[in-house]
Amino acid sequence: MDEHALAELCAYAKKFAQLDAPKIRLLQAIHPLLAPRLDEVTDAFYQHLPTIDKARPFLEGREVSLKATHREWLESLFTSNFDLDYTRHLYKVGDVHVRIRLPVEFMAGGMTIIQGELMQLTSRVFAGQPEPLLHANAAINAATGFSLLVMQESYQSSSMAAELERFLQITGISPTLFKNLAKAYNLKQP
Amino acid sequence: MDEHALAELCAYAKKFAQLDAPKIRLLQAIHPLLAPRLDEVTDAFYQHLPTIDKARPFLEGREVSLKATHREWLESLFTSNFDLDYTRHLYKVGDVHVRIRLPVEFMAGGMTIIQGELMQLTSRVFAGQPEPLLHANAAINAATGFSLLVMQESYQSSSMAAELERFLQITGISPTLFKNLAKAYNLKQP
């Protein structure tokens, strides 16, 4: 994905998920309050995943490195500027998920678990402060929504590209021949 | 999707999103408290969507019927048993989204907006009641997560099927010939 398309995706995902500058500043402001307990979120996430049959093959033997990567990303939710670098990183994650053949619904399912755990955490950290609690939850919802949106756009385009490659391999059609056939076919369409 | 596969998907999505029987009962119990104000959520959703360029073509001239459908689904989050009927319905919605060529990220983006609005609503309805607020938010998170997960599984499988169809149309290959080529190709693989 080129820089222009990436900038467009970043702006679009921010707008969709309502992740604006005040929310990003808030996430960074609450970071010191949440940071000491973010381990709990990653721990809960990796405690739940192995209870799902379909998830186990993706975990076995990789728990330590997966947990470390997850923990790092979780921290970045509260330190990132949600700029092009963050968008590029999440876009790559979506692509990697296709390459390791992770089922698409793992991303939405995973984000649901993470949101649930973060809401538990904020309810303790902001106990007795209903307004700050609401704002923290809204900012977290926007940030996880932004991340999911970017990953899914990339997952979708990568899985379409992988599917085309599979067709071409099965049929023995060359990429150039397919491109020409597609052009001719599209010209025929009304 | 046959009944057996549907039952498996329903159980799997419930487990992943941690949507258990107590959460479903809670959603039904808080329904009377939230129902009078669910219009606000749908209104906010359809106020935000037209501000997104890519969303406008899907809205124009259809706002009234889309809003009605959305409002009905929103109510069902608090009345459903999240059984096979609900799963079947959401599975069809994912399929319809492919047929109208709705970009994949609209589902995650849309659910982010809805979650944000519902959190605003619960913070008012459960003002001064931090524990019930947390439980309500957790149950809503699980229910929207379940719904997103089911829709995305169906979106993914429908978009793969649509891509295969496009490929067969472009190349003029018959479904039977492709099936035989795929079988031969898979036999060749190590």
| ipTM of the shown complex | 0.90
Average pLDDT taken over every residue of chain B: 93
Judged by CB atoms closer than 8 Å, whether chains meet at A152 and B105 is answered as yes
Q: Is B162 on the interface with A (CB under 8 A)?
A: no
Whether residue A104 lies within 8 A of chain B, CB to CB, comes out as yes
Q: What is the pLDDT of residue B190?
A: 62
The pLDDT score that the predictor gives to residue A69 is 94
Q: Which residues contact B111 (CB under 8 A, 6 or more apart)?
A: A145, B144, B147, B148
Is B171 part of the contact surface with chain A (CB cutoff 8 Å)?
A: yes
Digit-coded pLDDT (tens) for B4-35:
999 999 999 999 999 999 999 999 999 999 99
Contact between A112 and B149 under an 8 Å Cβ cutoff? The reply is yes
Q: Across the interface, do A145 and B16 touch by the CB < 8 Å criterion?
A: no
Tell me if A112 and B171 make a contact (CB, 8 A cut-off).
Answer: no
Q: Which of A133, A170, A182 sits opposite B182 (nearest CB)?
A: A170
Task: Encode pLDDT of B58-67 as tens digits.
Answer: 999 999 999 9
Q: Is A51 on the interface with B (CB under 8 A)?
A: yes
CATH code of the domain in which B75 resides: 1.10.490.10
- Alpha-carbon dihedral angle through residues B27, B28, B30, B36, given to the nearest 10 degrees: 110
Over 80: is that where the pLDDT of B189 sits?
no
Domain count, chain B: 1
In Å, how far are A2, A100, A166 from A92, measured between CA atoms?
13, 12, 21
Among chain B residues, CA nearest to A123: B134
Q: Percentage of chain A with pLDDT > 70? A: 99
Domain extent, residue A20, equals 3-188
What is the rounded CA–CA span in Å between residue A94 and residue B25?
35
pLDDT at residue A77, as a whole number: 97
CB contact under 8 A, A120 and B130: no
CA dist., res. A112 & res. A137, Å (int):
13
CB within 8 Å: B54 and A156: no
- B148 contacts chain A (CB < 8 A): yes
Mean pLDDT of B74-93: 95
pLDDT digits (tens, 9 = 90+) for A73-107: 999 999 999 999 999 999 998 888 888 888 888 99
Inform me whether the C-beta atom of residue A76 falls under 8 Å from chain B C-beta atoms.
no
Assess contact for B112 and A149: CB atoms under 8 A: yes
Q: State yes or no: pLDDT of A19 exceeds 80.
A: yes
Contact B130 A134 (CB under 8 A): no
Q: Mean pLDDT for chain A?
A: 93
Question: Is it the case that residue A29 has pLDDT exceeding 80?
Answer: yes
Asked if pLDDT for residue A190 goes beyond 80, the answer is no
